[in-house]
Amino acid sequence: MPNPDKARQTILIVDDSPENILILMDLLRDQYTITVATNGMRALQLAGCETPPDLILLDVLMPGMNGYEVCSQLKTKPHTADIPVIFVTALSDESDEQKGLDLGAVDFILKPFSPPLVKARVRNHLELKKHRDHLEDVVHERTRELVLTQDAAIFGLGVLAEYRDIETGQHIMRTRKYVQLMAEQLKGHSSFSGYFSDATMHLLINSAPLHDIGKVAIPDVVLQKPEPLTELEFLTIKQHTVFGKEIINRIEAGMSDKSASSFLRFAEELAYTHHEHWDGSGYHGLKGEEIPVSGRLMAMADIYDALTSARIYKPAYPHEEALRIIIEGDGRTRPEHFDPVVLQAFVDLCDTFRQISSGRN
Ligand SMILES: [Fe+2]
């Protein structure tokens, strides 16, 4: 993290010799804030604090932990890895300098040193650091803006689909909450190790509202029919998963920067696979682990919400009845439809599902 006090940068001087520290302090304290450490352990402590120094001047030969060890430890920790390190040492062998640079130091100053030269090198490296920090801030801000824009666009498209299906009401918001709830519960589960990274969680949760986007292509007479559907009408309804995938594909195809389209990958998965069943009896016959994790979570969320919501062809079931149908089956819905691990997560979380369903969460 960059030093928030941009006006005055901080230098950490590490040397076991107080005389050497004083010389460097005299040279630099007019322009910079100086902190000092007389051994490697203290240097690591100071570098690892909440506001790390902008630059470290590091002696090589010190009792206990030497400068090379300090440098290599700094470079292994994300919090301190980017702090520029300049070795200041009496070791004049070329191999010493090579070793320091190989460890990630940005420069190597030999003792006895020329004061103007030290000042110039320190200034140059701190200028570079300042520019890099600024660039990081700009990238961070632009990325944040881009993510917010993507989230808004996805949500807007999801709302569009909801407008076509008048009885689904708050379906989008609730199912998104259910997916998030199960994803957080399953984050540490061995069946999904490595799957739920922070980036995946974000994409998954924010793409969930698009799962029924394909309904925009289904005629109202079918979508809003109160009577039981004919075989042909049911085939038409099933097509909303295919249309959804196609719509998202077309959005992706229209994006000039293909690398930016990764956020739509989950939306495409969800749209196509949220009616798949673990036992292979779903819309497209995908089975078990052929079904993406996103689709398995959405299937669970979608069924619970469908059961506990009033639809044009059925009343809303109470939570207990929905829970019973999912766990025991009712002929139409069966427990074999769900990934057993996802089903267990649902059962474990069912009180929170009930709260969300009743609008209290
Ligand atoms: Fe659907």
CATH code at 70? Answer: 3.40.50.2300
306 plus 206 within the same structural domain: yes
HSE-CB for 178 with a 13 A CA cutoff: 34
In angstroms, what is the span from residue 210 Cα to ligand 1's centroid?
Answer: 10
In angstroms, what is the span from residue 277 Cα to ligand 1's centroid?
Answer: 13
212 plus 98 within the same structural domain: no
Question: Letter for the amino acid at 67?
Answer: G
Calculate helix-pair angle for 293-308, 265-273, nearest 10 degrees: 50
Q: To the nearest whole number, what is the mean pLDDT of the chain?
A: 88
The residue ranking higher by pLDDT, 274 or 251, is 274
The pLDDT of residue 26: 94
| Residue 33 included in any domain | yes
- Give CA–CA dist 325/332, Å, rounded: 9
- Mean pLDDT across 328-341: 95
CATH code at 256? Answer: 1.10.3210.10
Question: Percent of the chain at pLDDT above 70?
Answer: 93
The pLDDT of residue 360: 55
In angstroms, what is the span from residue 213 Cα to ligand 1's centroid?
Answer: 8
In angstroms, what is the span from residue 136 Cα to ligand 1's centroid?
Answer: 41
Q: Which H, E and C letters describe 145-193, residue by residue?
A: HHHHHHHHHHHHHHHHHHHHCHHHCCHHHHHHHHHHHHHHHHCCCHHHC
In angstroms, what is the span from residue 275 Cα to ligand 1's centroid?
Answer: 6
pLDDT of residue 8 exceeding 70, the answer is yes
In this structure, the number of other CB atoms found within 10 A of the CB of residue 231 comes to 7
| Residue 143 included in any domain | no
HSE-CB for 351 with a 13 A CA cutoff: 1
Task: Give the residue numbers spanning the domain of 194.
Answer: 165-357
The pLDDT of residue 100: 84
Please say whether the beta carbons of 118 and 109 come within 8 A.
yes
The pLDDT of residue 310: 85
Give Cα separations from 63 to 15, 19, 44, 179 (angstroms): 10, 16, 15, 55
17 plus 125 within the same structural domain: yes
Q: Chain-centre distance of CA 172, in angstroms?
A: 22
Please say whether the beta carbons of 353 and 178 come within 8 A.
yes
Confidence of residue 16 (pLDDT cuts 50, 70, 90): very high
Query: How does pLDDT run across 127-140, given as a tens digit for each residue?
Result: 999 999 888 888 88
Query: How does pLDDT run across 69-128, given as a tens digit for each residue?
Result: 999 999 999 899 999 999 998 877 778 888 888 999 999 898 888 899 999 999 999 999
**Lookup result for tokens 């779903």:** 282
The pLDDT of residue 326: 97
124 plus 245 within the same structural domain: no
70 plus 187 within the same structural domain: no
3-class state of residue 333 by DSSP: coil
- Mean pLDDT across 148-166: 70
Question: Letter for the amino acid at 205?
Answer: I
The pLDDT of residue 155: 72
In angstroms, what is the span from residue 278 Cα to ligand 1's centroid?
Answer: 16
The pLDDT of residue 166: 53
> In total, how many domains does the chain have?
2
